[in-house]
Amino acid sequence: MPHADGSPVAPPAPPQARLRALGPNWYAAVMGTAIVPAAGTVVPVHPPHPVLEGVWALAAAGLVTLLVARAVHWLRHRDRARAQLLDPVEAPAVAPFYGCLAMALLAVGGAALALRVPGAVGIDAGLWAAGTAVGLVATIAVPYLMITRHEVRPDSAGPVWLLPVVAPMVSAALGPPLAVHLPAGQPRQTMLLGSLALFGMSLLATLLILPLVFSRLLHHGPLPLPMTPALFLVLGPLGQSTTALGNLADVEPGSFRALSVLYGVPVLGFALLWLALSAALVVRAARQGMGFSLTWWAFTFPVGTCVTGAAAVWRHTGAVVFGWLAVALYALLVAAWATAAVRTVGGLFSGTLLAAPR
């Protein structure tokens, strides 16, 4: 039976073929899970700490599982792994998801530090260093491959192009909380200035891509139904950049507090505008038969960054409205995460999510 939109339903893949279809987009599930406990520590109304720790443990276990599975994928299915990076037709839709690998590492480490789990500083330091390194490589390598190897059409611009260039912004946001555990003086200053440089790198790259995304929507219409949830990815750099400046202001209030507010308030305003527009297009797609896919994880991490961004503005202004905005967005995040998680588990047991692409 076909989907309501007319696309064929892929049959469940046999066990030996499921790993072959595994792509880097699966790291989005780790990101979306890790942001739930991280954001839960900064909202005015805190969920129970043991619950947040349990969700973090789930994200950490998912990260380890995926790292092993993707390593095996590269060893046993090198042709597929190379095609996901280099194939002129397939790679433009898959290669940007290597940014999710970096952000998954960073998100799990940042959540560990926020929750103060045992060994949190060491866990976060290791994952921040690894995630930042992978993010910098993806930020350079993926655009390079798009320029030199991939076939990029005028109608192929989409929010997934943001994934590799947003990874340094996640590093910028999670660097300051880690910096306070470094010795005062040059080590701490280097971390803070490095975070600010990563902020600028990601922000300017985002400003290059966002006009292309909006232009594609205006000139070529809505995204294909399965890709419509990806519109929420635009919220990622908006919320994460606000969070980054807010976290810098937590460490250096004299230098960054005013900037974090002057930047964060208008950017969150635009984020709410984009959230409303994206939600309207998602409702339209749902009415036309949009089914579940891994793109539904786009409803999680980007919204979570807006939670942490709104909470940062609330901390530095004392404006109750931003505290309640953070709570409302967190409720949306939890609902989206629960929905995506349940549907993903169901798809894994049925085998449909790891069926061969059709």
User: In the predicted model, what is the mean pLDDT of residues 63-67?
Assistant: 97
Range in 2-16, 105-119, 252-266 the model is least confident about: 2-16
pLDDT band for position 5 (50/70/90)? very low
In a domain, 355, yes or no: no
- Tell me the two tokens of residue 78: 């090198």
pLDDT digits (tens, 9 = 90+) for 298-311: 999 999 999 999 99
Range in 125-139, 140-154, 188-202 the model is least confident about: 140-154
In a domain, 104, yes or no: yes
User: In the predicted model, what is the mean pLDDT of residues 163-171?
Assistant: 97
Count structural domains, the chain. 1
User: In the predicted model, what is the mean pLDDT of residues 13-17?
Assistant: 56
Higher pLDDT among residues 160 and 8, named by residue: 160
User: In the predicted model, what is the mean pLDDT of residues 200-219?
Assistant: 96
- Tell me the two tokens of residue 181: 């555990």
pLDDT at 15: 55
pLDDT digits (tens, 9 = 90+) for 23-52: 999 999 999 999 999 999 999 998 999 999
User: In the predicted model, what is the mean pLDDT of residues 190-213?
Assistant: 96
pLDDT at 11: 53
User: In the predicted model, what is the mean pLDDT of residues 134-151?
Assistant: 94
Range in 87-96, 129-138, 259-268, 337-346 the model is least confident about: 87-96
In a domain, 215, yes or no: yes
- Tell me the two tokens of residue 319: 């404006």
pLDDT band for position 16 (50/70/90)? low
Find residue 8's DSSP bridge partners: 2
In a domain, 110, yes or no: yes
Q: Are 313 and 268 in contact (CB under 8 A)?
A: yes
pLDDT band for position 153 (50/70/90)? confident
In a domain, 274, yes or no: yes
In a domain, 357, yes or no: no
- Give me the percent of the chain exceeding a pLDDT of 90: 84
Share the mean pLDDT of the chain. 92
Angle formed at CA 34 by CA 28 and CA 38, multiple of 5 degrees: 140
Domain that holds residue 24: 15-350
Backbone angles phi, psi at 352, to 5 degrees: -75, -30
- Give me the percent of the chain exceeding a pLDDT of 70: 94
In a domain, 67, yes or no: yes
What is the 8-class DSSP label of residue 353?
T
pLDDT at 358: 39
Break the chain down into helix, strand, coil percent, rounded to 5.
Answer: 80, 0, 20
Tell whether the model's pLDDT for residue 14 goes beyond 80.
Answer: no
Coil, helix or strand at residue 336: helix
CATH number, domain with residue 327: 1.50.10.150
Distance (Å, rounded) from C-alpha 206 to C-alpha 12? 37
Angle formed at CA 19 by CA 17 and CA 24, multiple of 5 degrees: 135
pLDDT digits (tens, 9 = 90+) for 239-258: 999 999 999 999 999 889 99
In a domain, 227, yes or no: yes
CA distances from 203 to 110, 168, 199, 309, 351 (A): 20, 9, 6, 15, 38
pLDDT at 354: 75
Distance (Å, rounded) from C-alpha 38 to C-alpha 53? 10
pLDDT at 9: 47
Distance (Å, rounded) from C-alpha 111 to C-alpha 293? 26
pLDDT band for position 348 (50/70/90)? confident
